[in-house]
């Protein structure tokens, strides 16, 4: 019988991720033509000494069984845990070897117990700012989206078999173009009432993004801060990210800015094309790395690749200032963005909304097709917690 435990490679942060870490990711998805290759630079940066997450108190460790699986564990004093004494696992790649996956989870739990946690939640990719959740179901033919959890079905099944429970569930709703006129008509009255109250909807061009960047970032931080496992960098780092990374990726025709009667930011809607088909590994050397995508360069290439069919549009994030919730701004955004969507897209993919989120009300007229995701949780076994506490106290004495 293979001795997996003695083959484990363990690396603590900050540190250098070994080649075996990235090799497992590739091997786990080698036979999946629509897999979007991982961006190695992101992992390297997140594990580096000068990364903001580590500098602000984060602890992390990675375990790899070469060629078979990998996992990481994360603990941060500022992470949002919704009242649980929990740390997180993430960066999980599996070749469907249950013995290896079980061993890796045990390593993660031991580490988190040493950090003082009694529960484990995941997958979380260090902070939910970078991504979280596991794909439970995808029964459509549109392929993975960038920034979407894209994991084999067996991973969710494994967690359930190991005693994990779904902590929160999410969906992506699929709304084809033929349904959009019905939705737009249903939203018209509420959207007009918002206009009558002085709210204005505008295309979020790069110029408007730059002009209102501080207010947009503040609204986004307030929204992201409500997400499980959120830890964020300083505001200036976020400003740079939104203006120079997310901004160029967004569609200026679909993305929407809402101003109130005083000209202040009341809401923002970020949307971009479903770039996934440009990035799939089946394209070989022509696959576009996710971190290189820009709307100006790659939307025309996406249209050319999919012709005569139209690309899909992704509703990535919608945020309304707390004082204006209930004032009809989401219907205003929906009505406003549906026009350009009908012109150039096959429909909407409303991405990654929690099932108890009020925005679910907006999706009621759509067909049944959807994608489902979950973030999972279980208690760390008491014996592991006790051993972890003893180990931690021993380290303090040393």
| Over residues 171-200, mean pLDDT | 94
Structure token digits, residue 73: 């564990």
CA pair distance 112, 60, nearest whole angstrom: 9
CA-to-CA dists, residue 39 to 26, 105, 118, 217, 243, angstroms: 11, 24, 32, 24, 20
Asked whether residue 179 falls in the same domain as residue 163, the answer is no
What is the model's pLDDT at position 356?
67
Percent of the chain exceeding pLDDT 70 equals 93
Give the H or E element holding residue 100: helix 98-114
Asked whether residue 358 falls in the same domain as residue 261, the answer is yes
CA atoms within 13 A on the CB side of 322: 8
Asked whether residue 163 falls in the same domain as residue 247, the answer is no
Each residue's pLDDT tens digit, 64-123: 999 999 999 999 999 999 999 999 999 999 999 999 999 999 999 999 999 999 999 999
Maximum alpha-carbon separation in the chain: 72
Give the CATH number of the domain where residue 84 resides.
Answer: 3.40.630.30
CA pair distance 348, 343, nearest whole angstrom: 12
What is the pTM for the complete model shown? 0.92
Contact 140, 172 (CB under 8 A): no
CA pair distance 361, 330, nearest whole angstrom: 11
Q: Comparing C-alpha atoms, which of 338, 368, 350 is closest to residue 183?
A: 338
Asked whether residue 348 falls in the same domain as residue 299, the answer is yes
- Structural domain of residue 211, as residue ranges? 175-372
Asked whether residue 186 falls in the same domain as residue 308, the answer is yes
Asked whether residue 231 falls in the same domain as residue 158, the answer is no
Asked whether residue 112 falls in the same domain as residue 197, the answer is no
CA pair distance 157, 154, nearest whole angstrom: 5
Q: At 335, is the pLDDT very low, low, confident or very high (cuts 50, 70, 90)?
A: very high
What phi and psi values does residue 315 have, to the nearest 5 degrees? -85, 105
∠ CA 45-128-277 to the nearest 5 degrees? 75
Count how many domains the chain has.
2
∠ CA 322-375-337 to the nearest 5 degrees? 45
CA-to-CA dists, residue 64 to 3, 11, 164, angstroms: 13, 9, 22
Asked whether residue 365 falls in the same domain as residue 381, the answer is no
What is the model's pLDDT at position 391?
57
Asked whether residue 180 falls in the same domain as residue 289, the answer is yes
Asked whether residue 325 falls in the same domain as residue 311, the answer is yes
DSSP strand pairing (119-122 vs 86-94): parallel
Contact 73, 112 (CB under 8 A): yes
Asked whether residue 359 falls in the same domain as residue 281, the answer is yes
Asked whether residue 129 falls in the same domain as residue 31, the answer is yes
Each residue's pLDDT tens digit, 128-154: 999 999 999 988 889 999 999 999 999
């Amino acid at each position: 019988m293979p001795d997996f435990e003695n083959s484990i490679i363990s690396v603590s942060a900050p540190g250098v991720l070994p080649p075996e870490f990235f090799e497992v990711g590739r091997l786990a998805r080698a036979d999946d033509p629509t897999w979007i290759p991982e961006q190695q630079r992101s992992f390297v940066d997140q594990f580096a000494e000068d990364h903001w997450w580590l500098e602000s108190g984060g602890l992390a460790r990675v375990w790899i069984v070469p060629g078979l699986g990998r996992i990481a564990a994360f603990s941060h004093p500022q992470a949002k845990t919704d009242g649980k004494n929990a740390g997180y696992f993430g960066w999980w790649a599996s070749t469907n070897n249950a013995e290896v996956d079980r061993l890796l989870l045990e390593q993660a739990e031991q580490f988190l117990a040493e950090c003082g946690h009694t529960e484990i939640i995941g997958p979380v990719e260090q902070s939910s700012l970078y991504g979280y959740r596991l794909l439970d179901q995808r029964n459509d033919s549109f392929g993975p989206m960038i920034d979407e959890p894209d994991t084999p079905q067996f991973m969710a099944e494994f967690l359930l078999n190991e005693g994990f429970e779904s902590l929160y569930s999410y969906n992506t709703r699929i709304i084809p173009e033929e349904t959009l006129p019905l939705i737009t008509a249903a939203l018209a009255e509420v959207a007009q009432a918002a206009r009558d109250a002085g709210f204005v909807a505008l295309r979020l061009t790069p110029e408007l993004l730059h002009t209102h960047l501080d207010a947009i970032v503040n609204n986004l931080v307030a929204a992201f801060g409500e997400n499980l496992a959120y830890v964020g960098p300083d505001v200036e780092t976020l400003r740079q990210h939104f203006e120079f990374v997310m901004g160029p990726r967004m569609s200026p025709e679909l993305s929407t800015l809402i101003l109130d009667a005083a000209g202040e930011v009341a809401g923002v809607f970020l949307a971009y094309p479903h770039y996934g088909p440009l990035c799939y590994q089946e394209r070989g050397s022509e696959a576009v790395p996710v971190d290189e995508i820009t709307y100006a360069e790659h939307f025309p290439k996406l249209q050319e690749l999919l012709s005569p069919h139209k690309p899909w549009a992704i509703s990535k994030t919608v945020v309304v200032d707390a004082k204006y919730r209930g004032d009809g701004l989401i219907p205003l955004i929906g009505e406003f963005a549906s026009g350009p969507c009908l012109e150039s897209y096959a429909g909407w993919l409303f991405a990654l909304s929690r099932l108890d989120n009020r925005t679910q009300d907006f999706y009621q007229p759509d067909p049944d097709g959807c994608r489902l995701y979950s973030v999972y949780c279980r208690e760390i076994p008491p014996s592991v917690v006790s051993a972890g506490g003893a180990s931690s106290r021993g380290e303090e004495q040393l």
